[in-house]
Amino acid sequence: MKKSITHNEGKIVLDTDRDACIYYAPRGSPDGAYVRGKDLYVHVEDGVPDVYYIHSWSMAPDEDELLHPVSIVSAEEFLEIRGLMLTAYPEQKGSLALRSYGYGIAEEF
């Protein structure tokens, strides 16, 4: 699936066939479990910041797929809910320290 977004008057094309998949949700048969899910991707391109996005998909024929750009914090939370961590940015050690004490981003605001 492809979607174009604008960034600083330029155009970025998010493409699930070319971008790196960070989390791939389980899939099942159309009449069984795992009929819907969300995958996390990152689009890396020279000269622009990395773009994280969620691909919401469904095997139901009457439901559309969506690509939704998210912040790095949202990408981290998406993975944390699934028991994983995004370690692409080691300079963000402050959030790791807070999480070790049981604090989450959502609880602080």
Short-list 50, 49, 56, CA closest to 16: 56
Please give the mean pLDDT across all residues of the chain.
79
Q: Indicate the pLDDT class of residue 103, thresholds 50, 70 and 90.
A: low
- The b/e string for 35-66 (b: 16+ C-beta within 10 A; e otherwise) is eebebbbbbeeeeeeebbbbbebeeeeeeeee
Predicted TM-score of the model (pTM)? 0.73
How many residues does the structure list for the chain?
A: 109
Q: Tens digit of pLDDT for each residue in 42-76?
A: 999 888 888 999 999 988 888 888 999 999 888 88
Give me the residue label for tokens 């791939």: 24
